[in-house]
Structure 1
Amino acid sequence: MSKDMKAAESYVGLSELTASTNLWRALCAEFIGTFLLVLIGCGTILQFKPTAAPSIVAISLAFGLIVATLAQAIGHVSGCHVNPAVTLSLFVTGDCKLIRSCLYIVVQCLGAMAGSAMLMVATPSDFQGNLGATAPHADLAPAQAFFYEAVLTFLLCFVIHGVCDAKRKDIKGSAPLAIGLAITACHLSGIKYTGSSINPARSFGPAVIKNNWHNHWIYWAGPIIGGLVAGLIYKFIFKVPKDEEDSMDF
């Protein structure tokens, strides 16, 4: 194989389709993970009593905890992206090949749709509302919502790159916990602004099931831009260089 062909293969990852069953196991993990994320996270948002509206803290903890626990359960299989913005952020750093990235995004969206559909089936019609769909605050301009989603997703992906950097030897705690706490922090700040999606698939599921596409572009463009910027900044500025790997001792 020529040098150019090897370079193309390292970028595209075509061999992953035939080399082993790992990719198919990973796709199953991403589907199940996104399904559970949407079902449980969005289920927390639904209000069954007029006087018992879910608090921002409860919603934030639900999303943070479900992602942290899923990362423990399926992180070794697929990396537990369960988020197209995370997948694309890892793609630009070279940690996820093109074919794997495309397939991940497809199954993440399918998992989100299935999770939202299951939530609708399991919830009495009077309490379904919009199935936890995200929407900007009424007084927020679309550009403001886009910016906030981008910044929040930047934080999430920046933390993911930091705690998952294989060359770091100073991390003593739990990477899934750190990621879950980052999601909780994003939601605590962002729910009142945009609903704090920070995940295109999470917004896509309820939008499909309820056929509500108002300002939906925000929840793709914002998180994807934020994730891409986070990946590029971490790769070219903060990633541990090879010559520092052996000298790190904190």
Structure 2
Amino acid sequence: MSGVDQLKTKEFWRPISAEFLAMFLFVLGGVSSTIDRESAPSNSNSTASQSDRTKHISLCFGLSSATMVQCFGPVSGGHINPAVTLAMVVTRKVTIIKGVFYLLAQLVGAVAGAGIVHLFSPSDFRENLGVTRLGKDVSGELGLLVELLLTFQLVFTIFASCDPKRTDLGGSAARAIGVSVWIGHLFGIPFTGASMNPARSFGPSVITTNFKDHWVYWVGPFLGAIMAALLYEHIFCPSSGEPSPGRVIRREANGGLHR
């Protein structure tokens, strides 16, 4: 499981670079959506509500996730999230050494993406640009629980929608993952800013040197990811070769159908 011998191969570094680029683009697009230019001091005619901004940010992060998974999934698996990578390592889908390099690539990509956003953002927003923060009256413990639950539903969606043993899968796994991220933001933004992704929080925090309550955005997602991965793999994962319940299967004998 260590996979140290992989370091000498091109096949090892190709997905690593993909995770860097995917995270860079994800943070670049997602963090940019948090800039509320309508509320800038120079704009006295702002009518944007907090609800509108929440929907805007949620949709941007959801679409960005779906796009990056669609683009980079065939190359690296499209983790784009240290919590997802940890879940894959825990369930032995990724070697430990590859998981470590995935994590490093994701963190560097997040910092680079946040740095670019910082360069072209208005000066009024640079101090707390895209930093995930706890909402009003939200304690660290509550924030931890929220991030755990948000990441749980995301990682469970990833495992379920990408499971090669399922016989009922149709449509797009990338779309399902993007919708999961979208839902998580709609629910979680008022509480924690809806990170679900330690690297997404790490990038802006490094650029703004703001690490207040930052532990929440590592511990919560990591715990949620591990719980979702183990629960799916050991309880809900279908057995290989067996049809999923509700799947219409053709009878070999007479061509009829049964469920």
User: Fold-level match, TM-score > 0.5?
Assistant: yes
Q: For residues 1-250 of structure 1, what are the structure 2 equivalents within 5 Å?
A: 11-18=1-8, 20-50=9-39, 51=46, 52=48, 55-244=53-242, 249-250=247-248
Match of 2:254 in 1: none
Q: CA distance change for structure 1 residues 246 and 147 in 2, over 3 Å: closer, same or farther?
A: closer
Structure 2 unaligned regions, length at least 5: 40-45, 249-259
Higher helix share: 1
Contact map agreement 2:126 2:208 (CA 8 A) in 1: no
Quick one: distance in 2 between partners of 1:114 and 1:190? Answer: 25
Per-residue CA deviations over 1:193-233 (Å, capped at 9, x if unaligned) read 10000000000001101000110000000000000101110
- Give the drift of 1:130: 1.1
Quick one: distance in 2 between partners of 1:179 and 1:75? Answer: 12
- Give the drift of 1:184: 0.3
User: Would you say how many aligned residue pairs link Structure 1 and Structure 2?
Assistant: 239
- Give the drift of 1:246: 9.6
Quick one: distance in 2 between partners of 1:211 and 1:238? Answer: 41
Q: Letter of the 1:38 partner, please give it.
A: V
Q: CA distance change for structure 1 residues 206 and 246 in 2, over 3 Å: closer, same or farther?
A: closer
Quick one: distance in 1 between partners of 2:211 and 2:18? Answer: 27
- Give the drift of 1:162: 0.3
Contact map agreement 1:46 1:128 (CA 8 A) in 2: no
- Give the alignment's Cα RMSD to 1 decimal: 1.6
- Give the drift of 1:124: 2.7
Contact map agreement 1:64 1:181 (CA 8 A) in 2: yes
- Give the drift of 1:140: 0.8
Q: CA distance change for structure 1 residues 17 and 246 in 2, over 3 Å: closer, same or farther?
A: farther
Q: Letter of the 2:140 partner, please give it.
A: P
TM-score (norm 1): 0.91
Q: CA distance change for structure 1 residues 195 and 126 in 2, over 3 Å: closer, same or farther?
A: same
Quick one: distance in 1 between partners of 2:238 and 2:95? Answer: 21
Structure 1 unaligned regions, length at least 5: 1-10
Give the SS at the match of 2:33: helix
Give the SS at the match of 1:242: coil
Which protein has the larger Cα radius of gyration, Structure 1 or Structure 2?
2
Quick one: distance in 1 between partners of 2:245 and 2:142? Answer: 43
Quick one: distance in 1 between partners of 2:224 and 2:28? Answer: 25
Contact map agreement 2:143 2:191 (CA 8 A) in 1: yes
Give the SS at the match of 1:234: helix
The sequence identity of aligned pairs, in percent, is 42
Deviates more, 1:113-122 or 1:43-52: 43-52
- Give the drift of 1:126: 2.5
- Give the drift of 1:43: 0.5
- Give the drift of 1:15: 3.0
